[in-house]
Amino acid sequence: MGGWFAHPIFKNGDYNEVMKTRIRDRSLAAGLSKSRLPEFTESEKRRISGTYDFFGFNHYTTILAYNLDYASWISSFDADR
């Protein structure tokens, strides 16, 4: 996720190729005529690249806890936990 925002600023002013290819392929598979990801112009790429003074990155995660009642005859890793 961080690369989505950081790559254009810290690299070449554009999204990374893997991201562009994946979103384009998924957009076409969904029946769209082109990628949902907007394309930067060359002017925008030059303007964006290297425009950082500070980059702070915070990451949070959540885990939803809930009770699963498995029948006693079910044998699986999840049932054993």
Would you state the pLDDT for residue 61? 80
Based on the structure, what is the number of domains in the chain?
1
Q: CA–CA separation, 18 vs 15, rounded Å?
A: 8
State the Cα–Cα distance between residues 21 and 28, nearest whole angstrom: 11
* One pLDDT digit (tens) per residue for the chain, 81 residues: 677 788 899 999 999 999 899 899 999 999 989 999 999 999 999 999 999 898 887 778 877 777 777 676 665 656 555
CB 37 within 8 A of CB 20: yes
CB-CB contact of 44 with 15 (8 Å): no
pLDDT at 59: 77
| pLDDT at residue number 81 | 52
pLDDT, residue 43, reads: 97
| Structural domain range at position 67 | 2-80
**CA–CA gap between residue 24 and residue 34 (Å, rounded):** 7
What local confidence, expressed as pLDDT, does residue 1 receive? 62
